[in-house]
Structure 1
Amino acid sequence: MLRLVAVAGILTVSGVAPHAAAGEPGATPFVQVRIDQVTPQVATTTSEPVVTVKGTVTNIGDRPVREVMVRLEHAAAVTASIGLRTNLDGDTDQYEAAEDFVTVAPELKRGQKIGFSLSAPMRSAAKHSLDISAPGVYPMLVNVNGTPDYGAPARLDNARFLLPVVGVPPDPQGVAGDALAVVAPDTSKPVPVTMLWPLADKPRLAPGVPGGTIPVRLTDDELATSLAGGGRLDVLLSAAEFTTNRDVDPDGAIGRALCLAIDPDLLVTVNAMMAGYVVSDSPSGPAQLPGTPTHPGTGQAAALNWLNRLRALAHRMCVAPLPYAQADLDAVQRIGDVGLTATATGGAADIVDQILGVAAVRGATLIPDGSLTQRAVDLLSANNSTVVIAAADSSTGDSNTPTPPTADTTPRRLSPQVVLAPFDPAVGAAFGATGSDPVAPPYLNAALAIRLQHDSEIARRQDALGSMLWRALQPKALPRNQILLPPTSWKLSSDDAGAILTTLATAIRSGLAVPRPLPALIADASAVPPVNGTKQPDIEAAGARGRFTDAVIAKISAEVGRLSGLSVALTTDIRTGLTGVNYTAPLREDTLRAISQANGPDTRNGLAQQRLQVVGDAINDLFGAVTIVKPAGSYTLATEHSPLPLALHNGLAVPIRVRLSIDAPPGMTVTDLGEMELPPGYLPLRVPIEVNFTQRVAIDVALHTPAGVPLGEPVRLSVHSNAYGKVLFAITMSAGAVLFALAGRRLWHRFRGQPDPADLDRPDPSDADDYVNDEQRA
């Protein structure tokens, strides 16, 4: 029997209300109906045989609405996984009424709301019911009709949800042994189930900050709230802790089916927060620059507590890494950098091992938020063998197709190294819609999209529970295995998380499912033989949802190339132990954060450009930090061998190997100092030179790495030389030789008592005296 309980106001209840006009709600909204509670969430053989739905009708229009009526309707059990989404939106032809409409308010004024409670038996031999006679997943609908002011009676809104029925309880009015007795589920073909429980977050580390910067800087302090009690990450961790507790899971069956899927970038961030951190006051600005305003972060204690709890949990259950910073592997392949590929894939597990102190599961690549493309397959094929867990292809070639085919979740080999173990995109989308911030994953076909914000959190939770159980309740559904991988961004309440893991436990305890640990999944998938011609699609369209643009890829390629050219010249600071690789690693990781799939598909490219702008500026600063100190005046060289004094400055935190390049003018020879290791700080130099001229000249001096990468800005020196050079030296030596020869000749003649021929043209001394006397007499 259909019952209605008034929650607010005095209601007029009509035993048989008139039918409202058929048709879907119009474009102008007048009222909104929301589901507030569904009992039972999952029907079993021991649950109440009556389904109760409580909700609220609110006037959101611009006029009063009269004769507001509600009715509970039902549809046949979902027979294909696409029905888990298509039954939640669009036309209502598949729904039938459980009873006539019941008036909940004679008039609902603008902004006014009214509560209602509808109940109907799951089945009945004598009365109207929901006609649920066998286990399955049943679509439900609450229909709202009314008459807007100045309008005619019409269907104004509806709210839909899925009711999973694991077992049908008996009809309380039935007779034992008749058709209305208990109907148990078919457990002859239990589904091996593996559920990945994501612990991930958006990138929070401030871009453009090289390694060794203390304290670490974050773009915002939202992670502190998320890690604290009641926060998003705390809720997810608490749910996993509770579900795998020995008191709740004494035989460890649920724990074997679960595996934590962890983003290494989240671990790096939380681990750094434990030492204290600051938060940038301008997250979109260059947070790495000295003097950028910051304030102390508030999550140090929460980070310590959360990470310690995670370490304890990781020691008793499976842990698997996500790609670093949830990087888009298709974009990584387009960038084409080997080091970046290693960081995004193979290096992710090493980080998990190091921070959590466990051995993470190898051999699986998890893609919870995007599509697997052929480029991603090519990238993974070039590395070790792996099983990719990603959404099955739900594309139809035509986004307007109303009923796309059911996604094929059969594992298949894509290359000698790569096997795809797909999950049902309809189930993944149901997970993504749960919580307070519902999302539609980019891999979901448009034909399966629904209005996420239209339904309440309770209704979306029901959809997720029904989607989880659908395959286990369909003995003929193939393949007989299931992977549950929610999007990493889901924001669950504790009730949501508890209900989802309780439903997993219900499937296992009831015999509908058996746990399949992730290592067993990897082993089974790895045994799949190759199939010729199996290809994944490439997302080429520039406007494809969630695809990173060519401009973003080109920018990353350029910045990674520049950074690599600098990194090979850096060495280790023996004082601090900081290596050149560790010093530049955060900037390389920034480029992976720029292509993170944790950001929404519609905002990814804009956020990527912002982060890359900061990273590019930071790399410019690194190159500019190694310079030649420009002198205030000019240099004067006293001799042709006077050294040229220079001073180099290294503003980096690690030493760097450099070479000097001096553009000397003709007549100047410069001794090459070769490769030098320039420590942090200032280093005075005296460059040996040889000058063969006397004049003022300009000398250009530049600094570069041993590979020829320019550092800093070239410096032009003004040099004045007092040296005369080789020509003057030759003249002086020649003149000295002539003088020496003449003096020797004179001495030779004197020694022999001979007059020097050079004196023959001189007058006799006595003649000279007579001439002087004559002049005096005159």
Structure 2
Amino acid sequence: MTRARRGAPWALLATLLLALVPALFPIAANGEPDRTAFLVVEIDRVTPDIVATASEPFVTVDAAVTNVSDRPVREVVARLERADPLVATSGLRTTHTEAATSGYQPVGPFLNVTSELRPGQRAAVSFRYPIRPSDDPGLGIEHPGIYPLLINVNGTPDYGSPARLADARFLLPVLGVPPPPEPDTDAAPPAPGDVVAPDTARPVRLTMLWPLADRPRLVPGIAGGTTPVRLLDDDLAGELGPGGRLDGLLGAVEFATGANLDPGGELARTLCLAVDPDLLVTVNAMTTGYVVGDAPGTGQTVAAAWLERLRALAARMCVTALPYAQADLDAVARVGNAPLFSFATVGAQNLVDQLLGVTSVRGVTLFGDRPLTKEVLPLLDGNGQTVAIAPAAAATDPATGAPSTADVTAHRVSDRVAVAPFDPAVTATLGALGGAKNPPSYLDPSLRVPPAAGSPTALRQDALGALLWRGLHPDTEPRTQTVLPPPNWQVGAEDAGALLTALTTLLHSGLAQPLPLPELIGQTVVVPPPPVPLAAAPDTGRFDTEVIGTIADEDARLSGLTGSLGTNMQTGLTGTAYTAPLREDMLRALSTAIPADQRADRARADLALVGRTIDDLFGAVTIVNPGGSYTLATERSPLPLALRNDLAVPIRVRLQVDGPPGMTVTDPGVLELPPGYLPIRVPIEVHFTQRFAVDVALHTADGLTLGEPVRLSLHSNAYGKVLFFITLIAGATLAVLTGRRLWHRFRGQPDRADLEPPEPDHLHRRPPPPNPDPEVPPSRPESAP
């Protein structure tokens, strides 16, 4: 017991040292180190990027290793490894996980990269191996397929031991196996029969939607007719200009579908432009001038040029509309406003037609970042026969339970809505192209794996493999494929061109045939029942009930106001167009173009601005308060008022006048209030005489309160019935007196009122004579005896 107690401290110390070893010597279990601590591998070039029967018999991979740690790494070596071809589209994602490392086998021995790589230094490495099996090290590829490749880098860091420090993974699409390399001897070259061509007996019918979209850029909370247009930033000018993302996406399609590269129009029939109407609204507004903050925008010229190019391309290609501002249709449906949902879907198609001057493909609804849910279904039914292009449900291998290829068979979910699914693993792999860090929210957790590849070249190789996989697997059902990259696709011009080149190669090789979008819609709408139940919506990226409730309340207020607005005959601005930007702001607040972890905060901020603007619109129609009191001359004197309309369009209003008992108001009905001031007189009748107050309020035609109510102080001089009887008696008296006078005149008798009154007696008395002696008082007259 004592000996055991004495050994306890040493055991504890040993345990601590073992715990500190990984920190001092960062080598993970099973020989796997902390990859982020020392080296990073970047793939610079893969030649050829797609192997075909006419390709060179070698594959060359150029890469670079960079020391990103704070200590030197010595004896840096690397080798190329290969795994078996992908048997399911889930492998497009799962081959990048650490669990898939065991499936890779060495192609050749380790090559020396450098004897020492100091912090920040970069060293190049290149691999060149035959494609087919040979006596020399080679890839050993004998059949077409999508092959995962891996660059494994080992080294010895300071204070550590040799270990695997980094890797980079990518996919190599093989459409056909070329002949083996010619021998160095004078032997005859390989015969043409030595190539392994792909199986083209069952080509896949392919539809690819090419998204042109961007995140919302317009400043929220600004009503229509306001100039100049305000943008949140000027980044869109760079994307539309030469070398920008949207310039590259548009230019790649212009070039690839030109008469020289696509004389038969196969690629043009396969592609369909999926345009976000919000992007068109923004670019169209930029063409007339705009501001960012207080500074003028710089993209007016490039916006006009880009829009004209798009119009020219849309005139010769299929065009359809994304939901407005890439709005989450599940969230829009939860708002519970059918007109708002219709605007986000059918209204979006109308905007595309209006701004591009084309007739877009109807009867289709695209689901980009969110799946089709049961909340959306009733509103889609209201749009009539519709094909929803939405992500397929995740699938698993029944034998192993591992992720498998999604079932993209068209099916019906209601009497009016059928679904043409797309493979979510393919879309997620295409979406990673361009460096997008957030996979689509509908992606199954088993496939939600960030790519481990270390360069844009590796991501491009993965995207090519995703695009070509189904064409190389003729036994996979169904033989139709719909490809819909994420709407806000962050792909550059070089990557876009590479994808369209691969698509052209797929079509020309006989592995695929064009399936124009109208034909896809036509064959999907006839899918027979029974309907397939919809899965529950994932919580990832879902808008909370607070945001949904705010939009429902504000949209109800805005719809009520819009219903009372008219058209400004001078400018042509309609009430619907005047409030449309605010309704569009509500859809922008539900945009899936915003990263999922930022959506709620962005939505609340935008809706706060929209709510304040709606408050201002209601407060812009008021009754002018005179600030004094009125005096009514009679009991029927009208009540003079002045109404003020600061809106840019006329509005239909009603007056509500509340007075004390004894006052009667004649309702003037619905008034058309133009922009500016409108004096009116409200007929009233008052049956009392006193000072009193009258409350006057203004409402829309449907009863929504406008502005602030006004209290008027009135003074009435009306005497009511007393004044009436006094006036009646006075009139009767006047009539009697007038009749009496006329009667006397008729009889020739003077009326007493016409006689002159007699003079008073004091006017006939003589004054006493003057007294000659002022000292002698005048004698008094003697009285008579």
TM-score normalised per structure 2: 0.87
User: How many angstroms does 1:572 deviate by?
Assistant: 1.3
Q: How many Å separate the matches in 2 of 1:145 and 1:413?
A: 53
User: 1:56-79 CA distances to partner (integer Å, 9 max, x unpaired)?
Assistant: 211112322222211111100001
Q: Corresponding residue for 1:270?
A: 283
Q: Which residue of 2 aligns with 1:203?
A: 216
Cα deviation, residue 453, structure 1: 7.2
1:510 shift after superposition: 0.8
2: CA distance between counterparts of 1:506 and 1:25? 41
Distance across 1 between alignment mates of 2:158 and 2:42: 22
Contact 2:655–2:668 (CA<8 Å) still a contact in 1? yes
- The CA deviation string for residues 641-668 of structure 1, in whole angstroms up to 9 with x for no partner, is 3322211000111111111111111222
2:325 aligned partner: 325
Partners of 1:623 and 1:455 lie apart in 2 by: 55
Cα offset for 1:28?
5.7
Q: Is the 8 A contact 1:438 1:490 kept in 2?
A: no
Q: Which moved more, 1:602-611 or 1:692-701?
A: 692-701
| 1:36 pairs with one of 16, 38, 44 | 44
Structure 2 residue aligned with 1:57, among 54, 65, 71?
Answer: 65
Q: Is the 8 A contact 2:240 2:247 kept in 1?
A: yes
Q: Which residue of 2 aligns with 1:140?
A: 149
| C-alpha distance in 1 between matches for 2:173 and 2:418 | 32
CA distance in 2, matches of 1:273, 1:182: 55
Residues 534-579 of structure 1: CA deviation (Å, up to 9, x unaligned): 111232x7xx111111111111111110011111111111112211
Residues 105-116 of structure 1 correspond to what in structure 2 (within 5 A)? 105-116=114-125
Change in Cα spacing, 1:90 to 1:498, as seen in structure 2 (3 Å) is: same
Q: Deviations over 1:179-213 (max 9, x none)?
A: 99211111111111111111111122221222222
Taking structure 1 as reference, are residues 173 and 405 closer, same or farther at Cα in structure 2, changes over 3 Å only? same
Cα distance in 1, alignment partners of residues 634 and 382 from structure 2: 62
Structure 1: which amino acid aligns with 2:460? Answer: R
Alignment of 1:125-274 (within 5 A): 125-173=134-182, 181-274=194-287
Is the Cα–Cα contact under 8 Å of residues 364 and 387 in structure 1 kept in the other structure? yes
Distance 1:690 1:731 in 2: 20
1:356 aligns with 2:378: no
Residue deviations 1:322-358, cap 9 Å, x none? 1122121111211121211221111222222222121
Q: Matched residues in 2 for 1:245 and 1:417: separation?
A: 38
* Partners of 1:210 and 1:587 within 8 A in 2: yes
Counterpart for residue 86 of structure 1: 94
- Residue 406 of structure 2 corresponds to 407
CA deviations over 1:477-522 (Å, ceiling 9, x no partner): 1111111111122222221011000000010111111111111111
In the TM superposition, residue 639 of structure 1 has moved relative to its aligned partner by 3.1
The one-letter code matched in structure 1 to 2:248 is: V
Match of 2:297 in 1: 297
Is 1:100 aligned with 2:109? yes
Cα shift at 1:382: 2.2
Instruction: Say whether the 8 Å CA contact 1:658–1:706 is kept in structure 2.
Output: yes
Shift of 1:378: 2.4
Question: In 2, distance between residues paired with 1:584 and 1:743?
Answer: 71
- Flag the 1:695–1:735 CA change in 2: closer, same or farther, 3 A: same
- Quote the Cα distance in structure 2 between the aligned partners of 1:690 and 1:406: 82
Could you tell me whether the CA contact under 8 Å between 1:22 and 1:154 is conserved in 2? no
- Is this contact kept in 1: 2:169–2:453, CA < 8 A? no
User: Is the contact made by 1:402 and 1:447 (CA closer than 8 Å) also made in structure 2?
Assistant: no
Corresponding residue for 1:617?
Answer: 612
Deviation at 1:592, TM superposition (A): 1.2
Shift of 1:692: 2.7
Q: 1:26 is paired with a residue of what secondary structure?
A: coil
Deviations 1:221-248 (A, max 9, x none): 2211111111111100000000100011
Aligned to 2:416: 417
The question of whether the paired residues in 2 share the 8 Å contact of 1:572 and 1:579 is answered with yes
- Contact 2:390 2:419 (C-alpha < 8 Å) held by counterparts: yes
Distance 1:517 1:311 in 2: 20
Check conservation: 1:125, 1:180, Cα contact below 8 A. Answer: no
Between the aligned partners of 2:395 and 2:135, the Cα distance in structure 1 is 45
Equivalent residue number for residue 527 of structure 1: 526
Question: Bigger shift: 632-641 or 577-586?
Answer: 632-641
Rounded Cα–Cα distance in structure 2 between residues aligned with 1:376 and 1:461: 34
Report 1:723-734 matches (<5 A).
Answer: 723-730=718-725, 733=728
Distance 1:159 1:180 in 2: 35
TM-score (norm 1): 0.87
Cα distance per residue 1:684-719 (max 9 Å; x no partner): 122222223333222111000121111100011122
1:382 lines up with 2:390 in the alignment: no
CA distance in 1, matches of 2:51, 2:390: 30
1:536 aligned onto 2:534: yes
Residue 759 of structure 1 is matched in structure 2 by none
Query: Partners of 1:715 and 1:528 in 2: how far apart?
Result: 63
**Equivalenced residues, count:** 717
5+ residue gaps, structure 2: 1-27, 748-760, 762-782
Report the residue type matching 2:71 in the other structure: R
Are the structure 2 counterparts of residues 739 and 256 from structure 1 closer, same or farther at C-alpha, using a change threshold of 3 Å? closer
Which has the higher Rg, Structure 1 or Structure 2? 2
2:482 corresponds to: 483
Is 1:662 the counterpart of 2:675 in the alignment? Answer: no
Percentage of pairs with the same residue: 58
* CA distance 1:512–1:718, change in 2 (3 Å): same
Change (3 A) 1:395 1:691: farther
Q: What amino acid is aligned across from residue 123 of structure 2 in structure 1?
A: I
Question: After the TM superposition, which residues 459-538 of structure 1 pair with which residues of structure 2 at under 5 Å, given as runs?
Answer: 459-532=458-531, 534-538=532-536
Counterpart-to-counterpart distance in 1, 2:160 and 2:251? 51
Does structure 2 conserve the Cα–Cα contact (< 8 Å) formed by 1:700 and 1:715? Answer: yes
1:100 Cα deviation after fit = 2.1
Q: Is residue 35–residue 165 contact of structure 2 (8 Å, CA) maintained in 1?
A: no
Whole-angstrom CA distance in 2 between matches of 1:710 and 1:67 = 79
Unmatched runs of 5 consecutive residues or more in structure 1? 1-19, 282-293, 753-765, 767-776
User: Which residue number corresponds to residue 54 of structure 2?
Assistant: 46
- Does residue 639 of structure 1 match 2:639? no
Q: For the residues of structure 2 that align with 1:24 and 1:304, how far apart are their CA atoms? A: 54
**Paired amino acid for 2:214:** D
The structural deviation recorded for 1:26 is 2.5
Segment drifting more, 490-499 vs 420-429: 490-499
Which 10-residue stretch deviates more, 243-252 or 22-31? 22-31
Structure 2 counterpart of 1:239, which letter?
Answer: A
Partner of 1:73: 81
| SS of residue in 2 equivalent to 1:645 | strand
Q: How many Å apart are 1:369 and its aligned residue?
A: 2.1
Check the 8 A contact 2:287/2:301 in 1, yes or no. Answer: yes
The answer to whether residue 718 in structure 2 is matched with residue 710 in structure 1 is no
CA distance in 2, matches of 1:156, 1:27: 5
Given that 2:437 and 2:450 are in contact with CA atoms closer than 8 Å, whether structure 1 keeps it comes out as no
Secondary structure at the counterpart of residue 602 of structure 1: helix
User: How far is the alpha carbon of 1:102 from its aligned partner?
Assistant: 2.1
Partner of 1:32, secondary structure, is strand
